[in-house]
Copies of this chain bind each other. A is one copy, B any other.
Amino acid sequence: MADFLTPQSEDFSRWYNEIVQKADLADYSPVRGCMVIKPYGYTLWENIREALDRRFKATGHVNAYFPLFIPMSFLQKEAEHVEGFAPELAVVTHGGGEKLEEPLVVRPTSETIIGYMYAKWIQSYRDLPVLINQWANVVRWEMRTRLFLRTTEFLWQEGHTAHATREEALEETMRILDLYTDFAVNDAAIPVIPGRKSESEKFAGAVNSYTIEAMMKDGKALQSGTSHFLGQNFAKAFDIKFLDENNQLQYVWTTSWGVSTRMVGAIVMTHGDDQGLVLPPRLAPTQVVIVPIWRKKKEREAVLEAARSLYERLRPVVRVHLDEREGFSPGWKFHDWEMRGVPLRLELGPRDLASGTVVAARRDIPGREGKRVLQMAEVEQAVPALLEEVQAGIYRKALDFREAHTWEVESYEALKEAVAQGFARAWWCGDPACEAAIKEETKATIRCLPQDQPGGKGRCIYCGKEAHEVALFGRAY
């Protein structure tokens, strides 16, 4: 035992660092800014990947793989792009014992090298659209790092698509934003606010960036996925042209979009509590843990036998683990699995054997209230149903939390108060100067211009001039 967590209310940031390590999600590595994703954390990432990949494939995308290294000159072809990424680059100057003629950059993102290949592959409108995704590692040199949230190397998927028309590319950008929203809500149980980034916050090289923004339990925002409409910026930089149906040479329209291992951090900080992780059943590495309980030695065999039989029955329907460890009390095991956020615990003791029942304890509802007695005869139906209840329950709880920490503000004072605890929705005139002043004075940035707009017009929360859009303000990770 003695493995206590700092309470969230005392120091959320410390709680986060502790739980990520104690629950075996990740560890610090000897390489500055790089993390080690431990098996438990990696399995969570595998499940995230699988849930996204399924959606990509269902919408016609295919996976491919492009080189880790990018010639430095490629990045320089798109002015905004190189300006945005230059300060964060890791540079390979030597290979095979010799100095390279041109330094190679370790990809911070792959628009440029993929753009180069698309120029080679795309000739005619018949070659379009190109709908490719890549699962890869990328490197962005970071000064201040946090496990999963901001690391020098991270894992992600990056989609890169090319289209014949502006409309199709815009449609793709929004299709992916919807896909990310659907994944966040239905699999990660994270309520997100989809919207457009302001000019100052958009991706370096994009015409428009779209984002899904989530609220963490400390009221701060976490950008959890982005989808970029790149217009013809990269098409022009890399000369990606096609002959259209009228035999006219045209530049393609491109998009790019990504979700990274940061999503693991989002799950931790959306659902976790003072006992540890609370994982959404659809993504949890282990959905159900069976803890056998006995006091007298003679009870042991019967309980273990029943537990094994229960395990075998549940194995085809859920990701279940039977905790047979010797030398640990049931209470210790409860604590251990709670810390790891397993959504459902099944407690099986001699009394349950006699009554043909098993006690199910929900991770998301502490104490008696979260317990239910299941009939052993019905576990194959009851357990998956209960997992769905947990899934819906934690989503509801996160949504309630966000709603309780979001304010429609009509004064700058109210905005300041709001962003100290959560989000503020306020009219914004669109002037980057107002945005910058608010950031300077409150540390809050425009997380997005939400898709969900009231319509009509209002007065800018900062300058009071006419405004046509409501912006979402918050302090961000």
Contact = CB atoms under 8 A, between A and B. Distances in A.
A62 B39 contact: yes
Given A39-B132, A43-B62, A93 B96 contact: no
A55 to B, nearest CB: 16
A31 B64 contact: no
B68 A36 contact: no
Given A88-B96, A92-B90, A63 B36 contact: no
Interface in A53-72: 62-71
Interface in A19-65: 27, 29-31, 34-39, 41-43, 45-46, 62-65
A90 to B, nearest CB: 5
A455 interface: no
A137 B440 CA distance: 41
Contacts of A143: 96
Interface stretch (A113-121, A395-403, A415-423): A113-121
A335 interface: no
A86 interface: yes
A155 interface: yes
Contacts of A68: 34, 106, 137, 139, 153
B86 A106 contact: no
Contacts of A139: 68
A97 B153 CA distance: 16
Given A71-B30, A113-B30, A141-B96, A64 B38 contact: yes
Contact of A36 (B66, B74, B94, B106): B66
B93 A89 contact: no
A359 to B, nearest CB: 29
A81 B143 CA distance: 32
A331 interface: no
Q: 4 closest A-B pairs (Cβ-Cβ)?
A: A96-B141, A34-B67, A39-B62, A37-B65
